[in-house]
Structure 1
Amino acid sequence: MQKKNLVRVFVKGGILSPGDFLKVLTTAKELGSEFIHLGSRQDILFPAKDRSKALLENIFKSINTEYEVNEFTHQNIVSSYVALDVMPNKKWLVPHVYHHILDSFDFRTKHRINLVDPSQSLVPLFTGNINFIASSTDNYWYMYLRLKKFDNMPIPYGKLIHGYDLAKAAKSLNERELEGENTTIEEFFAAVDQLEINTLNPLEELKYPDAAFPYYEGLNREPGGNYWLGLYWRNNKFSINFLIELCRRCMETNVGKISLTPWKSLIIKGIEENYLVGWEKLMGRFGINLRHSSLELNWHLPVLSDEALELKKYLVRALDQQDISTSGLTFTIKPNDDIYLFTSVVIEINTEEGDGGNTYNILYAKDFNPNSAAYVTYVKNVTKNVLPALLMELSVMYFDQIDDQPKHSIKKESAPVQEPVSERYQCKHCLSIYDAQYGDEAADIAPGTSFHDLPDTYLCSTCEAKKEAFMLV
């Protein structure tokens, strides 16, 4: 497949219904494709020819979905909806909030836009030009601009923006040439200041999530008792025939949404326990492997780069043979400059070949947390055969720098120290935070109540763990 033959389907927020997905799949099959690709912007790609434009227009108009053929002029809106019920999340950031905000984006955007909860680590924070990051205040969001002309470093807008006004701010910026040489960041923010939108001064700085990357494949239990299914193909060629049956299975078992991840995989949530055997039967009929090594799941590759795919296969095999753990790390293979980096480790393919073929550079994110957007060069111009050993060295560096000290301090009986109201305790099971400044409304705990003044019967409002499960953070 070549880029000139690509249909690119914009799946807003990475969320689509099984019925709409089925229409996309049957259209792709009708145009002669046996598979689809998933993109890092939570979009869908498949080959088609220009003469099919009338058919595409009718299909995508019927499901109210934007698409492009032979063009790459617009962008999909990425969201962390896919991480709900899979990873920790802001308590106020529930499905209908995502849907309401995404529905307010009623325009096509030429800039990358992200809508992300920082409590999770499955969807990167700053892979957009315009990044909206959820704050601790109900439905108020940080806004960060990340542009090449500012060295790709995320730059914060000084105020929080209400969720229902995010589209207004994005539309104002979408009408501007963000990468123009003569415009400044102050001009962009001044344009947002002039809008009639609801804003607040932030109560705290944005806290990045831990860099640890989750395992997201297979059947897993949700907090509410249902199950979610993560599916990954190592070559990013998803069989249309299988996906058609998957959509039908979703509709037969009351699964209302399918979510796409930025890692070229998909997640189906809300699978009822009494339907599990049928789902396992479907996987078995099509020979779907649900037990890939975590070495494979944490890679970001350009969709149509055979060179990058072959290099990944080589490196995964080499690391697997050495029984090396890369749990928590993520990797990018970068053959060109048109990729927004969002992984812990980056392998750059140099355009000039050495005597034995391509040479490579290895970079890693500061503190191995890609949300910092700051990268350090580890080596330059090395050959392919030494890459596995260098990645092993980096994995050791990563584990060495992890802080394994207890997060709480032990109080001396002779000199008890009163807990400041600002101290916070975290549940070690579900990572929920008890902040004395806010109390716990769900448990009728008033703001300003210190953790040590909580009754011994206090339970985590998210997972009902006992008070002893909380640690000072």
Structure 2
Amino acid sequence: MKNINTIKVNFKGGIIHPDSLYNILIAAGKCGLRHVRFGLRQQLLFDVEIEELDHITTELETLGISFEINKEGFPNIVSSYPAEEIFINNTWLTENIYKAIFASFEYTPTLKVNVSDANQSFTPLLTGNINWVASPEATDYWYLFIRFPKTNIIYEWKDILPTKDLAAISQRIEETILQNAAAFYDNTEADGEALYEKVKAFTLNSQPATVPLVLPAFNLPYYEGLNRYNDSYWLGIYRRDELYSIKFLKEICMLCLTTGAVQLCATPWKTIIIKGIAEVNRKDWNYLLDKYQINVRHAANELNFQVEDNSLAAIKLKQHLVKYLNDADTRTFGVCIGIKTRRKSEVFSSILVRRRPLIRIGKWGFLHMYDILCAKEYNPNERTDFVYSKDNFKFVLAEQLRRAVLSFYQYHDKKEKEAAAKAVSEE
């Protein structure tokens, strides 16, 4: 068996600089790589054999590129920046504000940080440990949600905080959690109020949060294809096997650089989005898609899956489930389906398929069973609320998933009828 090592390169907030990516791809190509991948936290991933590891790391160090090998010590900052303008409207959170926030992070977080607009559901709001959500009403202020590391405990901060303090407060919260690990790290009884009391002295510019933030309902936009917005176009590219040809990406980088005013972004759906494509350059992007035979019209019930990083088993399971849902002509609009094969992985989902072994020997698992879990009110920004189906064999799993999807629609139909009845009774 080959000794494969996974190298991770972060793109802060999902913003990719084409010239930097091009140089990384050149280095990867020198090591014989043909493909790279993108991860759930908007980072670049590629697998290198042990014989080439010293070569690629030397190349990246020469380029001044920060990277990690086979670990997640410095998780990427996730943001809703890729959706800015194309999926998010009527917001004070602009491109310049995003970039100012990312520039203000002079330290490298070891806890997961999410920076999100509240007026969207394209990127996850609460999959980080320190989750900033822009206030819909108070310009330049943010709600804060803490998800304590290695737990499902979420604490909503009692204050809203200004943009200029996000990085400093994030660092203070991280330091406090790590210095008090017994209380706040991998502790199912972690106390948000205790953390608040330890940190509040450093939040002098805060304001009381007068009302709790209402998280948006999940509604995944169709994120593929060449589409018009404002006076430009955006292009979304998804790959079924999560593999992106290095040759193809290099040509994307060159086209971004030669046409100018183009923004390249990685998304939490393991896809890329190119924004700011001018009408005059539209034919060049179509030609590039034709040249590499890139399909940009996949079925919606395939695009709304979230799969763990670095898991071939999860990808194969996704393909099995997608085929069944397609054959059954099952509607999945509004549902986010996650697949989890590792115990501590974090997957954004309305309905989660969890694989677990009946027998475990060391790090190896055997005789797998499958559970289906649902988020509270089927909102993927909430935590797991109930187990829909437990101890399924693989041969019945797809049908059980189809029934779970039906339960999603039945739940929302019931809620709508209850709201309509309430409205009538109040007239």
The alignment's TM-score, normalised by the length of structure 2, stands at 0.89
Deviations 1:1-43, CA, capped at 9 Å, x for gaps: 9896121101100002222221222122122211111111111
SS in 2 for 1:377: strand
Q: Provide the residue aligned with 2:45 in structure 1.
A: 45
In structure 1, give the amino acid aligned to 2:228.
R
Residue of 214, 221, 244 corresponding to 1:207: 214
For the 8 Å contact 1:89–1:117, the answer to whether it is kept is no
In the alignment, structure 1 residue 125 sits paired with structure 2 residue 131: no
1:182 — aligned with what?
183
Q: Which residue of 2 aligns with 1:79?
A: 79
Where does residue 446 of structure 1 map in the other structure?
Answer: none
Q: Is the 8 A contact 1:172 1:192 kept in 2?
A: yes
Q: Is the 8 A contact 1:36 1:239 kept in 2?
A: yes
1:383 corresponds to = 393
Aligned to 1:393: 403
On the 8 A contact 2:112/2:128 being kept in 1, the answer is yes
Among 271, 275, 284, which residue is 1:265 paired with? 271
**What does residue range 266-305 of structure 1 map to in structure 2 within 5 Å?**
266-305=272-311
Residue 407 of structure 1, CA deviation = 9.1
Report if aligned partners of 2:74, 2:108 keep a CA contact under 8 Å in 1: yes
* 1:257-296 deviations in Å (ceiling 9; x for gaps): 2111111111111111222122111101100001111111
SS at match of 2:182: coil
SS in structure 2 of the partner of residue 346 of structure 1: strand
Whether 1:361 aligns to 2:403 is no
- Following superposition, the deviation at residue 353 of structure 1 comes to 5.9
Greater CA deviation, 87-96 or 134-143? 87-96
- Aligned equivalents of 2:90, 2:195: Cα separation in 1: 28
**Which residue, out of 207, 219, 225, partners 2:231?**
225
Distance 1:385 1:21, change over 3 A: same
Residue type matched to 2:7 in 1? V
Equivalent residue, structure 1, for 2:61: 57
Instruction: Give per-residue Cα distances to partners, 1:382-440, cap 9 Å, x unaligned.
Output: 1112122112212222222335579999x99xxxx9xxxxxxxxxxxxxxxxxxxxxxx
Q: Distance in 1 between matches of 2:181 and 2:215?
A: 29
Contact 2:308 2:347 in 1 (8 A): no
Q: Give the equivalent residue in structure 2 for 1:147.
A: 148
Tell me the secondary structure at the aligned position of residue 131 of structure 1.
Answer: strand
What letter corresponds to residue 141 of structure 1 in structure 2?
W
Q: Where does structure 2 lack aligned partners over 5 or more consecutive residues?
A: 185-190, 361-365
**Secondary structure at the counterpart of residue 176 of structure 1:** helix
User: In structure 2, do the counterparts of structure 1 residues 243 and 33 end up closer, same or farther at CA, with 3 Å as the change threshold?
Assistant: same
Q: How does 1:159-174 map to 2 (within 5 A)?
A: 159-174=159-174
In the alignment, the residues of structure 2 paired with residue 334 and residue 38 of structure 1 have an alpha-carbon distance, to the nearest angstrom, of: 17
Q: Is the CA contact (8 Å cut-off) linking 1:90 and 1:117 kept in structure 2?
A: no
Q: State the secondary structure of the residue aligned to 1:228.
A: strand
Q: Are 2:342 and 1:332 equivalent residues in the alignment? A: no
CA distance in 2, matches of 1:92, 1:234: 35
Structure 1's 148 and 165: CA in aligned 2 closer, same or farther, altered over 3 A?
Answer: closer
Does the 8 Å contact 2:375/2:386 carry over to 1? yes
Secondary structure at 1:230's aligned position in 2? strand
Q: What letter corresponds to residue 380 of structure 1 in structure 2?
A: K
Counterpart for residue 467 of structure 1: none
Q: Percent identity?
A: 33
2:204 and 2:226 mapped to 1: Cα distance?
42
Gaps in structure 1 of 5+ consecutive residues: 418-473
Give the Cα separation in 1 of the matches to 2:102 and 2:3: 28
- Deviation string for 1:125-182 (max 9, x for gaps)? 1000110111121110111110256x41321111011011010111112223448223
| CA RMSD, 1 decimal | 2.5
**Which of 283, 306, 321 is the aligned partner of 2:327?**
321
Provide the rounded CA distance (Å) in 1 between the counterparts of 2:245 and 2:14: 19
The amino acid that maps onto 2:395 is N
Counting strand residues as a fraction of each chain, which structure ranks higher? 2
Distance (whole Å) between structure 2 residues aligned to residue 198 and residue 54 of structure 1: 44
Distance (whole Å) between structure 1 residues aligned to residue 183 and residue 376 of structure 2: 30
Match of 2:22 in 1: 22
Taking the aligned partners of 2:385 and 2:61, their CA distance within structure 1 comes to: 42
Q: Which has the higher helix share?
A: 2
Q: Normalising by the residue count of structure 1, what TM-score does the alignment of the two structures yield?
A: 0.80
SS in 2 for 1:371: coil
